[in-house]
Amino acid sequence: MEVGAVGAMRYVKDGIKAAKLVMLYTEHTMLVGDQASAFSISMGLPGPSNLSSTESMEKWSKWREDQCQPNFRKNVVPTNSCGPYHRKKDVILGERTHLVDDDVENILMKSSHVNFHNHDTISMTIFDKSGHIAVGTSTNGASFKIPGRVGDGPIAGSSAYADDEVGACGASGDGDIMMRFLPCYQVVESMRLGIEPRLAAKDAISRIAKKYPNFVGAIFAVDKNGTHAGACYGWTFQYSVRGPNMDDVEVFTVYP
């Protein structure tokens, strides 16, 4: 039950190390933004650093040339430009307020920018010789996100969760959707009730897919005895395992 996290952090390359510093040297759970960067640098991490690359700058320039499309805006005008953006006109219907053209369109658009071509989340679980379990997740976040966005990576119970008495879970996918369900917390609690990892992972994914049929995501689950499994939706997922008696990792493929 020790947790450290950082979000919306710039200028520091090693986000996972920064999260560990929060866990080890503060009584907080999460630090965000430039103050998270300042804390990390003050605790010995290199920075401030320019983390832009030629590839990322070219990607950003092309996105700007394409009128900042795609992006994660909704219910705003203009829809095909780089802004500034304004809310669509509200329509009053009885005692309810609706935004024009919103409900069905927004449900269909969920996860439209998340797929295996633009995803970079790494989630890992480690067992030590004493049976203690640690988990960690690191990600650059969604491409073309709105500045200030924090996804599921640093949210305990969403992208990762562990309990020495039960097991652990890691997740990847559409973080804006997944964090609403805390799927890894759900997996660990299901395993606590005696549900095997395969069914626990499948159940957590199914709960999300039932509400968001266009969602893209995956989960791996491992119990305290080392039994592991994965579940996914919207893509074919792979995870790797290495045990103390193995010479190399073994890759497992999970199909939707």
The residues carrying an active-site annotation are 121
Name, in order, each residue with C-beta under 8 angstroms of 222's C-beta and a sequence gap of 6 or more: 125, 167, 168, 169, 197, 228, 229
Task: Quickly list DSSP for 155-186.
Answer: SBTTTEEEETTTEEEEEEE-HHHHTTT-HHHH
Which tokens sit at 161?
């969760």
Whether the bond into 244 is cis, omega within 30 of 0 = no
Q: What are phi and psi of 247, to 5 degrees?
A: -80, -25
Name, in order, each residue with C-beta under 8 angstroms of 71's C-beta and a sequence gap of 6 or more: 144, 146
| CA dist., res. 220 & res. 46, Å (int) | 32
| CA dist., res. 188 & res. 167, Å (int) | 6
Torsion angle of alpha carbons 182, 187, 189, 192, nearest 10°? -170
Between strands 30-32 and 5-7, the pairing is: parallel
